[in-house]
Amino acid sequence: MQPVTDLIAGLDEPARSVLEGWRSRALELVPDALEGVSYGMPALLHRGKGLVAVAVTASGYSLYPFSGQVIAALGDALGDLPRSKGAVSFTDARPLPRSAFDAIVRARRDEIDAALDRTS
């Protein structure tokens, strides 16, 4: 089962390229990430926990790092992009900066590692 790859394959352009770009970049940053489902969304998982998901929405895209703490901590890196406690929204006209995506993925990876290493 490859829920992220399957989702991307079913999209039209430009959404297909946008989501594939973010999937590829996340795998460069966290090479051991696996495809799966987290909170009902196709997502990349790190050590069995939701790392990141990017979804197509009616108004563009939403990035879900499965952590309100990560979004709050990186608020400055997100500039004026709309966000909630659990997601960052962006569009083709107002894209998510690569540096912000990288920071989110790395912060979430580190958060997962810290939580799981404490319980080991």
Domains and CATH numbers, the chain: 3-119 (3.90.1150.200)
* Nearest alpha carbon to residue 65 among 42, 47, 48, 88: 88
Three-state secondary-structure class, residue 105: helix
Amino acid, single-letter form, for residue 38: S
Q: Provide, rounded to the nearest whole percent, the portion of the chain with pLDDT above 70.
A: 98
Are 66 and 43 in contact, with CB atoms under 8 Å apart?
Answer: yes
- Read off the pLDDT band of 76 (50, 70, 90): confident
pTM of the entire predicted model? 0.94
Are 65 and 71 in contact, with CB atoms under 8 Å apart?
Answer: yes
Exposure b/e, 23-35, CB count within 10 A at least 16 = b? beebbebbeebeb
Averaged pLDDT for residues 56-68:
96
pLDDT at residue 85 greater than cutoff 70: yes
